[in-house]
Amino acid sequence: MAATHLFFNTDIGVKKPENIRNKNQSCPFCARDQLTDIIDVEEPIILLKNKYPVLENAYQTVLIETDECSSELSLYSKEHLVKLFTFAIKHWLDFQESGKFKSVIFFKNHGPLSGGSISHPHMQIVGLYDIDYMKKVPLSSFEGLPIDEKGGVLFNLSAKPRVGFYEFNVRMTEPGQIPVFANYVQIAVHYILNNFPFKCNSYNLFFYKPGKDIYVKIMPRFITTPLYIGYSLPQIPSNLQKMRNEVINKYFS
């Protein structure tokens, strides 16, 4: 029988530092001279083994995005943005192509409602030994209202969101398109944090590779609707077209 659940080690979990809400706790990613099990470094970007591997039957890594603790993806220069995405996607694909894992998940948490524990900008790449994450990801969740398209990279607002309400998608067909891909992601994040119709301070990035194409879903985070928690029923809002037009007017006009 195929594995369907991840197992969380609570003995390790209670030891994890948590400064996304507790601002009095020091940031472990700022103490760069104390970091261990480093896999690769490119200037301020560091990939290392997760010191608190709470997921069983998985290989967990953390990707520290910058040495500026108070920064955030929407604030990065274009040069750093492209460098970060090139570095991160390369390692994610290397993990997938190693043959060691059933699948490899790649994601980012930001903000108190994102599920993260450390506020310092970072991503995570996790190799799963016995779970194929795509079994739970319908390709229809990447379909949506087109916002912009450039050089074969598509940016849209999901018409069939995974969790419900507002989810942005970006799709590219090969790594050479990373500059456009990363720029669309930054626009979506900037809109969520600064121009959303209601205050939002949290988001997630989820990366997917169902075949040749690479997708990222940019998801603003709020208190999750009980209809999704209890029944897995996503809701589609009535103002998607209005939001799509607003993003176009703010960033592409």
Specify burial of residue 46 (Cβ count, 10 A radius: 0-12, 13-18, 19+): buried
pLDDT mean over 111-119: 94
pLDDT mean over 227-232: 96
Domain membership of residue 125 (yes or no) is yes
Are residues 102 and 193 both part of a single domain?
A: no
Tell me, what CATH number does 237's domain have?
3.30.428.10
| Element at 61 (helix H, strand E) | strand 58-64
- Residue identified by tokens 């709470």 is 54
pLDDT by residue (tens digit) across 166-191? 999 999 999 999 999 999 999 999 99
pLDDT by residue (tens digit) across 132-169? 999 999 999 999 999 999 999 999 999 999 999 999 99
pLDDT at 3 over 80: yes
With beta carbons less than 8 A apart as the criterion, state whether 147 and 156 touch: yes
User: Torsion over CA of 175, 186, 142 and 253, rounded to 10 degrees?
Assistant: -110
Token digits for 26?
């020091």
Are residues 70 and 163 both part of a single domain?
A: no
- What residues make up the domain containing 147? 141-203+210-251
Token digits for 246?
């607003």
Average pLDDT, the chain: 96
pLDDT band at 25 (very low <50, low <70, confident <90, very high): confident
pLDDT at 1 over 60: no
pLDDT mean over 44-69: 97
Other CB atoms within a 10 A radius of the CB of residue 191 amount to 22
Domain membership of residue 5 (yes or no) is no
Interhelix angle 178-194/78-97, rounded to 10 degrees, is 110
Q: Which of 102, 134, 166 is the last residue of a domain?
A: 134
